[in-house]
């Protein structure tokens, strides 16, 4: 069974099954206030402290739409290379739930604000386009808390009414790696645009996962199941894996798949039917009579287009062309807007190649170790570029640079100061180096003889000795050159 490289097949009794995946990603719109009310969207506040009369659906309360959320949706639509619909309609999706105070969710059904678009994934075996079906605006629900009170469920409406963009993909995803790449790419685009912070821990990005299977070669899509509200890439992958195998088992046993909504149990690592909700599964969508159709004009859309920043795909292209980076390097550096910003700041004043290596090497290792984002990096882009310049102009060697980096990580100290204070400056005076080299040659006559009689490998030994005697400060490039001359 292979889950990667664009082909994810499940094999049972000589039958090969292809897994078809579509995602409905719910991305929280970055905004100060909610979609239809003026209460705050801030994360992590005391329960029910960010709830207005509108959010709690008091009698006579009416929705008034937040213009910024519309702009964010249009921006995202443009980022997804999608069609912006000049007329869209807000509908009510009717169902009862404890954390849905209105008894309906205001969403967009037949006429979403954004139509078809696409997202390009960089997979190991090349680029792959994933179709976007639509993007629509809708309200988030509140939160039901089941584990505080054993007898009751508690309801917190802080999230109630927060704006979400539901981004629906076409059933174009074929592997767990593609799911991973797709979510990361969406997240990256929205972070570039500033339309969603993509913070999965805080629930800013969740997905309903549609999974179906079909025998390889079949043209017709199988019946799909929707796994609701999965909130991490890892869980999405686990849920898909379980669900696809479950479906194959059902089919192999001669059964058929019921189209249904399922729940992913993260503890048991299994999906489960939500039949309890199923019996009243008729959302009775209709246009919300409290709102009018949303009309956008060309001028408005063009204005937003003008303000769209460079997005990851274009940035990658530019990095490759301008900085001669490999596609692999460029991919890493554009994957997140903050990384790309950091990189551009460092490389603005220092060598691009070194910047690339130091960021993807030492710095990433440090961030990983500390489990922090690049925005929280203990080393500022300014100081990293200074460090790189010290290497580039020969003031210190790469090896010394690593020890300077070690000092920098505890407090973002200026590398120039560190080098001066610790006397780490590289020895580049040819006379001094020659003295050092001469000393090594006189102290190791046997090795000199061996080298001269053809043991080329010993060249490294002499360099090493010189470096050691200089406490690592000798300029290795010059040491090499002088040594070569001596042995001629």
Partner 1 sequence: MTIDLKTVKHISKLSRISIDDNKAKKLGKDLNSIFSFIEKLNELDTKNTEPLTSIAETTLKLRKDEIKSENIREDILKNSPDKNKDFFVVPKVVE
Partner 2 sequence: MSNITDLKLVELVDKIKKKELSSTEVTIAFIERSKKSKKLNTYISENYENAIKKAKIFDQKPDFKKKLPGIPIAVKDLFCTKNIRTTAGSKILENFVPTYESTVTQNILDEGGIIIGKLNCDEFAMGSSNETSYFGNVQNPVSENLVPGGSSGGSSSALAAKLTPATIGTDTGGSIRQPASFTGTVGLKPTYGSCSRYGIVAFASSLDQAGPMTHDVKDCSLMFEIMSTYDIKDSTSVDFKRENYLTNLNENIKGKKIGIPKEYRVDGMPKEIDELWEKGIKIIKENGGQIIEISLPNTNYALPTYYIVAPAEASSNLARYDGVKYGFRSKGENLIDMYEKTRSEGFGDEVKRRIMIGTYVLSSGYYDAYYLKAQKVRRLIKNDFDEAYKKVDAILTPSTPSSAFKIGEKLNDPVSMYLNDIFTVPINLAGLPAISIPAGHDKKGYPLGLQVIGKAFDEQSILNIAFALEKNISFKNNITDWWIK
- Binding residue for partner 2, selected from 101, 161, 222, 312, defined by CB under 8 A: 101
Taking CB under 5 A as the rule, does residue 166 contact Zn ion? yes
- Binding residue for Mg ion, selected from 122, 208, 336, 362, defined by CB under 5 A: 208
Q: Determine the Cα–Cα distance for residues 392 and 414; give it in Å rounded to an integer.
A: 16
Residue 108 or 475 with smaller CB distance to Zn ion: 108
Decide which of partner 2, partner 1, Zn ion, none touches 62; Cβ closer than 5 to 8 Å per partner kind.
partner 2
Contact 94, 283 (CB under 8 A): yes
Main-chain phi, psi angles of 474, to 5 degrees: -60, 140
Taking CB under 5 A as the rule, does residue 133 contact Mg ion? no
Positions 123 through 152 that interact with partner 1 (CB under 8 A): 144-146, 149, 151-152
CB atoms within 10 A of CB 117: 22
Contact 384, 409 (CB under 8 A): no
Positions 152 through 171 that interact with partner 2 (CB under 8 A): 153, 155
Which residues sit opposite 212 in a β-bridge? 20
For partner 1 (CB under 8 A), the number of binding residues is 51
- Binding residue for partner 2, selected from 98, 221, 365, 372, defined by CB under 8 A: 98
Q: Determine the Cα–Cα distance for residues 135 and 88; give it in Å rounded to an integer.
A: 11
Residue 100 or 441 with smaller CB distance to partner 2: 100
Task: Tell me the per-residue interface mask from 266 to 305 with partner 1, x by CB under 8 A, - otherwise.
Answer: --------x-x--xx-x-x--x-x-xxxxx----------
- Binding residue for partner 1, selected from 16, 32, 124, 326, defined by CB under 8 A: 32
Taking CB under 8 A as the rule, does residue 46 contact partner 1? yes
Taking CB under 8 A as the rule, does residue 33 contact partner 1? yes
Decide which of partner 2, Mg ion, Zn ion, none touches 208; Cβ closer than 5 to 8 Å per partner kind.
Mg ion
Residues sharing a CB contact under 8 Å with residue 245, sequence separation 6 or more, in sequence order: 10
> Which residue in 92, 86, 43, 85 sits closest to 63, CA to CA?
92
Q: Determine the Cα–Cα distance for residues 222 and 154; give it in Å rounded to an integer.
A: 39
> Which residue in 309, 279, 103 sits closest to 192, CA to CA?
309
DSSP letter for 257, please. P
> Which residue in 263, 471, 221, 450 sits closest to 487, CA to CA?
450
Residues that bind Mg ion (CB under 5 A): 24, 208
Residues that bind partner 2 (CB under 8 A): 53, 56-65, 92, 94, 96, 98, 101-104, 153, 155, 276, 282, 284-286, 288-292
């Amino acid at each position: 069974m292979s889950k990667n490289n664009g082909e994810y097949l499940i094999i049972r009794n000589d039958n090969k099954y292809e897994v078809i995946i579509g995602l409905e990603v719910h991305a929280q719109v970055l905004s100060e206030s909610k979609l239809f009310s003026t209460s705050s969207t801030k994360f992590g506040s005391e329960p029910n402290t960010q709830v207005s009369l509108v959010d709690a659906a008091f009698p006579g309360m009416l929705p008034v739409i937040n213009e910024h959320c519309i702009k964010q949706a249009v921006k995202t639509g443009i980022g997804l290379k999608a069609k912006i619909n000049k007329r869209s309609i807000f509908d009510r999706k009717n169902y009862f739930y404890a954390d849905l105070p209105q008894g309906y969710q205001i969403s967009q059904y037949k006429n979403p604000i954004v139509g078809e678009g696409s997202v390009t994934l960089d997979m190991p075996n090349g680029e792959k386009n994933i179709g976007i079906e639509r993007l629509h605006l809708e309200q988030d629900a509140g939160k039901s808390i089941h584990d505080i009170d054993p007898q009751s469920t508690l309801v917190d409406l802080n999230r109630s009414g927060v704006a979400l963009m539901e981004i629906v993909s076409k059933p174009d995803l074929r592997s767990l790696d593609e799911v991973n790449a797709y979510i990361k790419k969406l997240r990256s685009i929205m972070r570039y645009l500033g339309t969603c912070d993509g913070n999965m821990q805080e629930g800013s990005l969740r997905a309903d996962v549609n999974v179906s299977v079909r025998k390889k070669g079949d043209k017709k899509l199988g019946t799909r199941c929707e796994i609701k509200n999965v909130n991490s890439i890892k869980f999405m992958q686990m849920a898909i894996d379980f669900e696809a195998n479950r479906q194959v088992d059902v089919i192999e046993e001669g059964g058929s798949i019921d189209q249904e909504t399922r729940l992913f149990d993260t503890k048991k690592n299994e999906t489960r039917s939500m039949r309890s909700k199923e019996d009243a599964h008729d959302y009775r969508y209709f246009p919300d009579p409290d709102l009018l159709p949303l009309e956008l004009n060309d001028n408005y859309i063009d204005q937003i287009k003008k303000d769209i920043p460079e997005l990851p795909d274009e940035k990658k292209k530019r990095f490759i062309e301008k900085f001669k980076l490999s596609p692999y390097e460029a991919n890493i550096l554009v994957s997140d807007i903050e990384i790309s910003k950091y990189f551009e700041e460092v490389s603005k004043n220092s060598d691009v190649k070194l910047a690339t290596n130091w960021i993807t090497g030492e710095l990433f290792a440090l961030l990983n170790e500390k489990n922090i984002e690049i925005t929280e990096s203990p080393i500022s882009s300014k100081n990293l570029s200074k460090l790189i310049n010290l290497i580039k102009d020969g003031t210190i060697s790469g090896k010394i640079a690593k020890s300077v980096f070690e000092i920098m990580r505890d407090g973002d100290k200026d590398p120039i100061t560190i080098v001066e204070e610790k006397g780490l400056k590289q020895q580049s005076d040819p006379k001094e180096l020659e003295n050092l080299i001469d000393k090594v040659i006189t102290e190791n006559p046997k090795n000199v003889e061996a080298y001269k009689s053809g043991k080329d490998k010993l060249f490294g030994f002499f360099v090493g000795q010189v470096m050691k005697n200089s406490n690592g400060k000798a300029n290795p490039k010059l040491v090499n050159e002088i040594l070569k001359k001596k042995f001629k």
